[in-house]
Amino acid sequence: MQQKALEVLYEDEYILAVNKPNNVLIHYSHYARNIKDATLIDLLERQFKKRFFPLHRLDRKTSGVIILAKEKEFISLFQELFFKDQIEKTYLGIVRGFSPAEGTIDSPVKNPDTKVYKEALTHYKTLASVTLDIPVHPYPQSRYSLIELKPNTGRMHQLRIHLNKISHPLVGDYKYGDRFHNRMYEEQFDCHNLFLHASTIAFTHPHTKEVLKIKAPINENWKKVMKLFK
């Protein structure tokens, strides 16, 4: 089956921003050595007949906006923005239960390479909550919240670990989530993906000095669930 073309969100002479689908690796890595599917870099090369260079990370299971440099020499100026915390990322998530109205999760996350814990900070805000008349073990109904997340740090699996820490794991998270709720979404809604989406990224372009806010539309799984949630 032919791969659908990646959705371009923004492009200029320096960068390309696309809407990454769920379950697509950005590039091959030690952690995903058993995954043989085409990476985002492969898909872009097929689509544009050109190699791109990712400027930041996005977990394989997460969908949403990712920015890539068009040439290697453009990388350093953009990466400086990340190092200086001059890039604001916003994510959307669907979590189990009624999450608090807003809060900050300040809890270290273990680095998978060094096994050393590093400081990690996430701000969140609950946008909506819903109760569904669908039983999920051990309750007769199920509750969910739509949550907005703004990470201050970029640790691996940070948002997934942090939400599990406050007992509101992401739906579709098989590593840190709740298997009963994950199974319900698969069986009732035919949704098999992680509900974590990098919705916007905002920064001042280091070359053009333009203030950019790049948004990634939600995918079909999200639309289906949003409709159910009304």
DSSP 10-27: EE-SSEEEEEEPTT--SS
- Are the beta carbons of 159 and 166 closer than 8 angstroms? no
Structure-token pair, residue 71: 């040439």
Question: How far lies 45's CA from each of 5, 28, 137, in Å?
Answer: 11, 14, 45
59 is catalytic: yes
Closest CA to 191 of 89, 20, 63, 33: 63
Q: Which of 42, 59, 106, 173 is catalytic?
A: 59
SS3 68: strand
Q: Which residues belong to the active site?
A: 59
